[in-house]
Amino acid sequence: MLELLLCSMLTVLPDYLYRRYGQGKRIGREITLFSVWFELRWGITACLMLTVTLITIIFYNHPSATNVTAYFRTVPIVPETNGRVAEIYVGLSDRIEKGQPIFRLDDAAQKAAAETARRRIAETDAAITVAATDVAAAQGQITQAEKAVQQARDELDTKTQLNTRNADVVSRRELERLQVVVDGREGAVAAAVAAKEGALIRLETLLPAQKASAEAALAQAEVELAKTVIRAGVSGRVEQFALRVGDLVNPLMRPAGVLIPDDAGRERLVAGFGQIEAQVMKPGMIAEATCLSKPLTIIPMVVTSVQDVIAAGQLRTTDQLVDAQQVGAPGTITVFLEPLYEGGLDGIPPGSTCAANAYSNNHDLIASGEVGVLRGLYLHVVDTVALVHALLLRIQALILPVQTLVFGGH
């Protein structure tokens, strides 16, 4: 309607002024309801053509979107293990900080596993003490066996010398018996040394390894015990947290609730522009938005990113071929808008429905001198008519509360 009024000022109004003052025709006499088309046909025709052209130029070069939302990602509150809720630390709607406990699962099994691991460590420490005593006892046996060997050798040497001097004093059978005693006691020394080495291996290798395994089991048990207390990964709010003591939660099928981070949906707006704007939408374009949750307010924005794929063509591999006619309505180009100034989205709750305009800017191209006179004039017109679209957005922001509250029945 605004475009039609502007175009009529350039076409219908001059035609009427010419008919009125140039030809002397007056409304109600020569110009009536039945003759207005014949009298003002040139102005009306030119007005309609100019209006269509102006609307096309405005909406193509300065696209608008009503599918604009402050999308936000929620964090599901799920435990890492199955369990039954034993204690809840937050309410139905509550503010929590990062690391703050939300609820606790029944931890009897995890505590028992941790206590078992601690007992195993204590048992291993006791075994290490016993093994040290065994090493000392083995060293004593070695000393005792070495002394017995030395005594047997001394006796054998003495008897051997006597036998050398006088064979009748010591019999050969006696010498053989003493040699067997020496060999047996040397074997006892070797057995004592082997027993000591075994005790040392058990003390220095086996028992420390067993203790390390027990400590690892304790650490694992403590980790499993810590998993029974579910904490907030980020600062934010829990909403509609209806979990109760005794509920069974499952990390796959039964989440406990959702956590809304502080910055969720407060950094940018996501808009869906028509596919025909694919060649126009570029990062860096200036934009404006108005939201239903904050009426009578125009928010300066800037296009930060344009998604280079359209979600309507997304295909998932299945066992059936996809027919092209199964695709529904044409998808839109996803565009990310961020406030031009800090705090631009303050007061707008995440999930708000908004409308946005984006404006082309050809000033740099015109100033570069790379375009001709006619194209430069056209680009000047394109940049100028952006004022019309900006005015339309402001009118929309003004009538939005009336449309919603009065005519919408809300």
pLDDT at 26: 75
CB atoms within 10 A of CB 40: 21
pLDDT, residue 154, reads 67
pLDDT at position 313 is 76
Query: What pLDDT tens digit does each residue of the chain (410 aa) get?
Result: 666 777 777 777 777 677 777 777 777 777 777 777 766 777 778 888 888 888 888 888 889 998 899 888 888 888 888 888 888 888 888 888 988 898 988 888 888 988 998 999 888 888 888 888 877 887 777 777 777 767 767 666 666 666 666 665 556 666 667 677 767 767 777 777 777 788 788 878 888 888 888 889 889 988 888 888 888 888 888 888 888 888 888 777 777 788 888 877 788 899 999 888 888 899 999 999 999 888 889 999 999 999 888 887 777 777 777 777 766 677 888 999 999 988 888 888 888 889 999 998 888 888 887 888 888 888 888 888 888 888 888 888 888 888 878 776 55
* Amino acid 259: pLDDT: 86
Q: Do 230 and 102 form a contact (C-beta atoms < 8 A)?
A: yes
Map out the domains of the chain as residue ranges. Answer: 1-61, 63-72+265-315+324-410, 76-105+229-261, 108-220
Neighbours of 379 (CB within 10 A): 18
Output the CA–CA distances (angstroms, integers) from residue 80 to 37, 250, 394, in the order listed.
77, 8, 50
Note the pLDDT of residue 164. Answer: 66
Q: In what order do the strands lie in the sheet with 229-231?
A: 229-231, 101-105, 83-88, 248-249
**Smallest Cα–Cα separation from 296: which of 369, 401, 366?**
401
Q: What is the pLDDT of residue 170?
A: 59
Numbers of helices and strands, H then E, in the chain: 10, 14
Burial class (CB in 10 A: 0-12, 13-18, 19+), 293: middle
Nearest-5° Cα angle at 369, 305 to 282: 10
d(CA 26, CA 74): 68
Superfamily of 63-72+265-315+324-410 according to CATH: Efflux pump adaptor protein, beta barrel domain (2.40.30.170)
| Distances from the Cα of 56 to the Cα of 2, 63, 374, angstroms | 14, 10, 19
Question: How much is the pLDDT for 335?
Answer: 93
Do 287 and 358 form a contact (C-beta atoms < 8 A)? Answer: yes
CB 76 within 8 A of CB 255: yes
Which is nearest to 290 in space by CA: 409, 410, 407, 391? 391
Give the dihedral of Cα atoms 237, 242, 246, 251; nearest 10 deg: -60
**pLDDT value, residue 250:** 79
Cα–Cα distance between 58 and 186 in angstroms, integer? 110
pLDDT score of 175: 64
Residues 6+ apart with CB under 8 A from 402: none
Q: Using an 8 Å Cβ cutoff, are 354 and 65 in contact? A: no
- Triad 70, 74, 78: Cα angle to 5°: 175
Listed in sequence order, the residues at least 6 apart from 132 whose beta carbon sits closer than 8 Å to its beta carbon are: 203
Instruction: Provide the residue type at 237 as one letter.
Output: R
CB 58 within 8 A of CB 240: no
Q: Give me the count of residues in the chain.
A: 410
Amino acid 302: pLDDT = 94
CA angle 399, 405, 407 (to 5 degrees): 75
Per the CB < 8 A criterion, the answer to whether 327 and 310 are in contact is no
Q: Which residues make beta-bridge pairs with 238?
A: 94, 259
User: Residue 192 and residue 145: Cα distance in Å, rounded?
Assistant: 7
3-state secondary structure string across 86-113: EEECCCCCEEECCCCEEEEECCHHHHHH
The architecture CATH gives domain 76-105+229-261: Beta Barrel (2.40)
Residues with Cβ within 8 Å of residue 258, at least 6 apart in sequence: 74, 75, 76, 77, 238, 239, 240
